[in-house]
Amino acid sequence: MEKNRLNKKDLGNFLTILKKHYSNIISPGLDDKNSPVFRLINSAQEIVLDKITPIKPPKEFLFPQSEELMTYDKNDSYTPTRIVEKTKFAIFGARPCDIKAIEYNNLFFGNKFNDPYYQSKRENLLLIGISCEFPSSSCFCTTMGISPVESSGSDLFLTNLGTDYLVEWVSDIGKAIQQFFAEILTEAKPEDEKMKIKIEETTRSKLVEEINLTEIKGKIIQTYDKEDLWKNYSEVCIACGACTFNCPTCTCFDVQEKMESLENGTRYRTWDSCQFYDFCLHASGHNPRGTKMQRLRQRILHKYQYSIDQLNQWSCTGCGRCIRSCPVGINTRSILKDIKEELHG
């Protein structure tokens, strides 16, 4: 893997060059309440990389919370016009947990059915990751087998060296644009890799705990009938859906039609949540997941069992957003530890 150094003073020049090829740059910045969010940025001064990762993941730029799919018009014999986004854009400063989430979503939206709306955005994305130095108290990425400095899945990957960034050109797409930045790059140094190892060790030491899931991988389904385990957490759940809406790998959506007039309309999709009562509600009135216990169990089993069965990959990256956003303090780490105790004592 080719590596360079980028002086932080040249970050503005880096972004200027980048915008010539990727018109929109999304990065962690601050909102009007001074909280970190992923948003469109126009200058290096707007980028904020020294805080915990934003509570809302960058998945909305690939899988929007609300998205028009097609329009149709009676005067055109109701021939639908598919709406496909083709704007080239870059996500700058994604941490390994969010990079792994995008890798999972690539599988989900391209496995048995190729979703053209997601894929069109993914094909136009340049993904620039960064080593994580600022985990929250809710993070458990290493439990899910993800290193805080893992570069795989990104196109470019940055590591903070102090006055410089170590730049790794990871993918073929990344390597293809390396030449554009030649004038502001310098050679990487042998000690750079040591700094990366040091950051990994320091970040790991800040994590509250690491749970070994090796023994229960593929076996969590055995707790399906352990209702006391699930009720212990579901009884306080208020079914707000925050855990799923802020999860970088939750992909549930609803499709609806909006008639603009008697002649034309729009089909769109919006995020949905398996924690909502009407998520599985049948037209007959029957609801196979009518209780909070059943719905919470479904979410956990999907993350740690069904996605393994279907895609051979956890649909959890340990980003901790579900824990951070839960208004009643349901802790996914605690659920995993209880499952492990239930299976192995």
Per-run averaged pLDDT (10 residues), the chain, 345 residues: 95 97 97 95 96 96 93 71 84 98 96 90 97 97 97 98 98 97 96 95 96 91 96 96 97 90 86 96 94 97 96 96 97 96 85
pTM of the model: 0.94
Q: What is the pLDDT of residue 259?
A: 81
So what's the pLDDT on residue 1? 77
Question: Would you state the pLDDT for residue 77?
Answer: 62
pLDDT in the model for residue 56: 96
Same domain, 140 and 57: yes
Q: Is there a single domain that holds both residue 139 and residue 238?
A: no
**What CA–CA distance (Å, rounded) separates 155 from 128?**
6
Of 187, 206, 225, which residue constitutes the final position of a domain? 206
Q: Which residues of 135-160 are buried (b: 16+ CB within 10 A; e: fewer)?
A: bbebbbbbbbebbbbbbebbbbbbbb
Instruction: Indicate the SS3 state at residue 37.
Output: strand
Domain that holds residue 312: 214-344
Regarding whether 226 and 125 lie in a shared domain, the answer is no
Task: Quote the pLDDT of residue 78.
Answer: 60
pLDDT the model gives residue 76: 65
| Structure tokens belonging to residue 243 | 């855990």
Q: What is the pLDDT of residue 198?
A: 97
Tell me: do 244 and 265 sit in the same domain. Answer: yes
Q: Are residues 153 and 277 in the same domain?
A: no
- The pLDDT assigned to 161 comes to 97
Burial 265-293 (b: 16+ CB within 10 A, else e): bbbbbebbbbbbeebeeeeeeeeebeebb
Residues 138 and 29 in one domain: yes
Using an 8 Å Cβ cutoff, are 265 and 71 in contact?
yes
Burial class (CB within 10 angstroms; exposed 0-12, middle 13-18, buried 19+) of 14? buried
The residues that bridge with 164 in the sheet, in sequence order, are: 7
